[in-house]
Amino acid sequence: AKDYELRQYETAKWVSTVIRGETQKEAMRQGFWKLFHYIQGKNDKEMKIGMTVPVTCLVKSGCTDFKISFFVPLEHQDSPPQPTDSDVFIEERKAAALFVRSFGGFASPEKYAEEADALARTLRNRGQPFHEDFYYTAGYDSPFKLFNRHNEVWYFKK
């Protein structure tokens, strides 16, 4: 469709942390740094790992817990270094079909919520069943990239 796409993602490992009781913006900041320390060597192998994209944030309706995640690079998918920070963990996300809406610019939590609402409306109007109680935000660019930025919101297909 012109305003969203349906993607099939394979099972994959992500390194994640959950930040509780903060605003989404603050949770993203805190979560990013916890995960950044992991890829900089705060893991059981003291190994530096390349930064990957996207950086995702799980947003649940009416909840102030946010799960921030980095994709584990392909060369480490089979055996990722284990985090040494007890707040950081490796998770395996099962294969899934996702409805994705892309947009540009600098994405604030408010902009992500607007885009998620627009995607949800479109999916409902087209009779597409999806899990409405949560969505993921996905950011692909460094904060230093000023132009041609790429952001997404994801809903899981039922």
Q: Which CATH number goes with the domain that contains 18?
A: 3.20.80.10
pLDDT in tens, 125-146: 999 999 999 999 999 998 889 9
Task: Quote the DSSP letter at residue 75.
Answer: G
Give per-residue pLDDT as tens, 12-23. Answer: 999 999 999 999
Amino acid 60: pLDDT: 97
Mean of pLDDT over the chain: 97
Structurally, the chain folds into a number of domains equal to 1
The predicted model gives 85-102 an average pLDDT of: 98
Which residue range(s) make up the domain with 124?
5-156
DSSP string, 18-72: EEESS-HHHHHHHHHHHHHHHHTT-BTT-------S-EEEEEETT--EEEEEEEP
What is the pTM assigned to this prediction?
0.96
**Region label for 46, one of left (φ > 0), alpha (ψ between -120 and 50) or beta (otherwise):** left
pLDDT reading at 1 higher than 80: no
> What is the Cα–Cα distance from 152 to 60, expressed in whole angstroms?
16
Is the predicted pLDDT of residue 2 greater than 90, yes or no? Answer: no
